[in-house]
Structure 1
Amino acid sequence: MRKDTYELEFEKFLEGQNYEAAEDALFSIARAAFEAGWLAAGGETPRTGHTITFPEKA
């Protein structure tokens, strides 16, 4: 019974806004890290118009 409750609550979390915000923040951080490495290795600045943003502290 306890495991079922855990799984249901975890599923609710995955479908909620908090998970969505965390996922977006992690993607932004991964993209910024990749771009920094890309530029350090001599790559050209991306021309997509994408601006790197970092998540605000809650």
Structure 2
Amino acid sequence: MELIQNILVTDLLGIWACLSIGFFVWLVQGISNDHKREKREKEQASRDLEYHEKRMKEFK
């Protein structure tokens, strides 16, 4: 009986550790992707503004 309990506890701890590591990896990837997306959006806004200014100069 004690052997079965030890096996079950070990399995549950292993599953918990895997889920915790998976959650941590998911969290880090989410933060990284958010940072990259914000950087792309800033660059896109800069290009849009530059394009707009160029078109306004040509329009005049």
TM-score (norm 2): 0.45
More helix by share: 2
TM-score by length of 1: 0.47
